């Protein structure tokens, strides 16, 4: 029995429990390719490596982890963790060094060339035209991508389908997140007719406050907005989960009876946190500031929440230098070229794309599914809208497919605004579902956010007759 329990526990700790069905399909396809290569002898030199790579990547995606991330030790790597080792990187990515150096391609070309049977080609020379046509298409795509001047051929081919961002709003360096939040708050309070002295709590959620590390930007906004000195002020630096965290904190204060009205200001200028030469970040983020006003209503439906944290994954999204763990030094500003269009310094925020992708398509969907199961929710009839953090199109699409959510109930606005961090949920409300929310008929929304920490949260909320001002640009 102990052996069985140990095996069950081992399986639960493995990556197999986090694999979506798409990965299992690709694993099955890899075995089919193995069959054709080994049993049927169909192009074994090509199919066996393809099948083996397909199998490994789908069993454990981190096997392709970039060795330029923080866990990689290198003599010139300013992000290197002194407690880590070179073998912490993905095995296939380390092997890929031989590909990038052009050593493996030459060896493979010579080996395959020496073992290739050219008999079919010699028997039917016209088949050469098929290969030529395929190569012509590749070269045309290559030339078009290069002429654009924005992306490499690989980036141009996948960016639109995976990221889905076509335009963004980027403010000048003189414009802070607090400025945008202040403008949103002034308009919201005017439209609602709230007296500023009636606001008991001010929450400012952002990772790009006016000053670092002090003073709290919420205190500055209390003065700039002309709120009462009795107003309780607090900063929350939770990044992409910001709105859900802010609603939870304020909601608990409202429910306790300590306050009656709360003002939540959520916004970021996240693009400025990183290097402008880091292609893993530059195309993603937009600038935004939002305002949410909450008032206690004894007749309101409960807000159902689920928050979770995986602190061991914090290195996937972080700024290595700038806090008191690693203070700013002259070396913090020295940039390093990590390849693939990634140039940054230790003071710049980094994203480990593979780790974040694996996290985003595994942990948050489980939280959503658990809430659906616990409350017997029918996704087709019980929920009006699923508001999913607009990280990128690939992640949102994977979550939608994994949970079998009705696509018509999942609004997108990242193609117009990009990743807005913590402000992405209120942005969806304003830009995509404003009219339904203004109606007297209650609408039920299931919200999901994920990001820094690593943290993620799911919230089920019902709203009706909401005041939503028009979108403003400053």
Q: Is the pLDDT of residue 71 over 50?
A: no
Distance, in Å, from the CA atom of 183 to the CA atom of 61, rounded to the nearest integer, reads 43
For residue 87 the two structure tokens come to: 């073998």
Specify the higher pLDDT residue, 457 or 36: 457
Alpha-helical runs (H) found in 287-375: 353-360, 363-374
Mean pLDDT of 150-155: 53
In eight-state DSSP terms, residue 399 is H
Share of the chain above pLDDT 70, in %: 75
Q: Quick: pLDDT tens for 405-421.
A: 999 999 999 989 999 99
Model confidence at 392, pLDDT cuts 50, 70, 90, reads: confident
The enclosing H or E element of 298 equals none
Q: Is the pLDDT of residue 424 over 80?
A: yes
Q: Is the pLDDT of residue 70 over 50?
A: no
For residue 418 the two structure tokens come to: 């990009």
For residue 157 the two structure tokens come to: 């081919």
pLDDT at 69: 42
Distance, in Å, from the CA atom of 206 to the CA atom of 235, rounded to the nearest integer, reads 8
Angle between helices 217-225 and 177-192 (to 10 degrees): 40
Q: Quick: pLDDT tens for 315-330.
A: 989 999 998 999 999 9
The enclosing H or E element of 107 equals helix 103-115
The bridge status of strand 336-337 relative to strand 343-344 is: antiparallel
Distance, in Å, from the CA atom of 23 to the CA atom of 359, rounded to the nearest integer, reads 15
Q: Is the pTM of this model over 0.75?
A: no
Q: Cis bond leading into 215, ω under 30°?
A: yes
Contact 296, 255 (CB under 8 A): yes
Distance, in Å, from the CA atom of 48 to the CA atom of 53, rounded to the nearest integer, reads 9
Rg of the Cα atoms in the chain: 26
Task: Identify the structural domains of the chain with CATH numbers, from first to last.
Answer: 2-136 (no CATH), 177-463 (3.40.47.10)
Distance, in Å, from the CA atom of 128 to the CA atom of 143, rounded to the nearest integer, reads 23
pLDDT at 114: 61
Give me the residue label for tokens 């008999």.
Answer: 119
Q: CA of 347: how far to CAs of 318, 321, 369, in Å?
A: 10, 5, 37
For residue 70 the two structure tokens come to: 């923080």
Contact 421, 397 (CB under 8 A): no
Reported for 108-113, long-range contacts at CB under 8 A and 24+ positions apart, including other chains, are: 112/45
Give me the residue label for tokens 């696509």.
Answer: 407
The bridge status of strand 350-351 relative to strand 385-388 is: unpaired
What percent of the chain is helix, strand and coil (3-state, nearest 5)? 50, 15, 35
Q: Quick: pLDDT tens for 254-278.
A: 999 889 999 999 999 998 998 888 8
pLDDT at 128: 63
Q: Is the pLDDT of residue 102 over 80?
A: no
């Amino acid at each position: 029995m102990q052996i069985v329990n140990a095996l069950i526990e081992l399986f639960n700790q493995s990556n197999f429990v986090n694999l979506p069905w798409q990965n299992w399909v690709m694993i099955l396809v890899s075995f089919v390719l193995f069959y054709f290569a080994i049993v049927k002898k169909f192009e074994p030199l090509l199919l066996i490596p393809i099948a083996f790579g397909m199998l490994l990547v789908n069993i454990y995606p981190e096997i392709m982890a970039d060795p330029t991330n923080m866990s990689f030790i290198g003599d010139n790597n300013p992000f290197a963790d002194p407690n880590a080792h070179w073998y912490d990187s993905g095995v296939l990515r380390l092997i890929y060094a031989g590909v990038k150096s052009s050593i493996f391609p030459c060896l493979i070309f010579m080996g395959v060339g020496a073992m290739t049977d050219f008999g079919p080609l010699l028997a039917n020379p016209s088949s050469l035209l098929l290969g030529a046509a395929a190569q012509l298409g590749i070269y045309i795509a290559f030339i078009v991508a290069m002429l654009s001047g924005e992306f490499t051929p690989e980036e141009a081919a996948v960016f639109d389908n995976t990221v889905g961002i076509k335009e963004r709003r980027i403010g000048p360096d003189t414009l802070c997140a607090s400025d945008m939040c202040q403008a949103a708050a002034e308009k919201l309070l005017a439209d609602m007719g709230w007296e500023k002295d009636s606001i008991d709590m001010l929450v400012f959620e952002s990772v790009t406050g006016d000053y670092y590390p002090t003073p709290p930007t919420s205190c500055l906004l209390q003065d700039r907005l002309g709120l009462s000195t009795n107003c309780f002020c607090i900063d929350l630096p939770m990044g992409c989960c910001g709105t859900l965290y802010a609603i939870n904190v304020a909601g608990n204060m409202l429910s306790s009876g300590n306050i009656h009205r709360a003002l939540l200001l959520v916004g970021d200028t996240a693009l400025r946190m990183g290097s402008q030469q880091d292609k893993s970040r530059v195309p993603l983020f937009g600038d935004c500031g939002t305002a949410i006003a909450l008032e206690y209503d004894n007749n309101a439906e409960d807000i159902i929440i689920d928050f979770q944290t995986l602190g061991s994954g914090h290195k996937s999204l972080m700024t290595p230098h700038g806090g008191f763990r690693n203070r700013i030094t002259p070396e913090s500003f020295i940039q390093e070229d990590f390849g693939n269009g990634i140039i940054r310094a230790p003071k710049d925020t980094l994203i480990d794309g593979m780790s974040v992708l694996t996290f985003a398509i595994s942990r948050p969907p489980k939280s959503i599914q658990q809430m659906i199961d616990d409350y017997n929710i029918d996704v087709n009839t019980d929920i009006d809208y699923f508001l999913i953090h607009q990280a990128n199109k690939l992640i949102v699409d994977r979550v939608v497919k994994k949970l079998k959510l009705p696509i018509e109930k999942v609004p997108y606005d990242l193609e117009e605004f990009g990743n807005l961090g913590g402000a992405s949920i209120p942005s969806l409300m304003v830009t995509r579902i404003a009219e339904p929310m203004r109606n007297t008929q209650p609408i039920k929304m299931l919200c999901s956010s994920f990001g820094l920490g690593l943290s993620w949260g799911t919230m089920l909320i019902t709203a009706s007759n909401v005041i939503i001002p028009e979108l403003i640009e400053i």
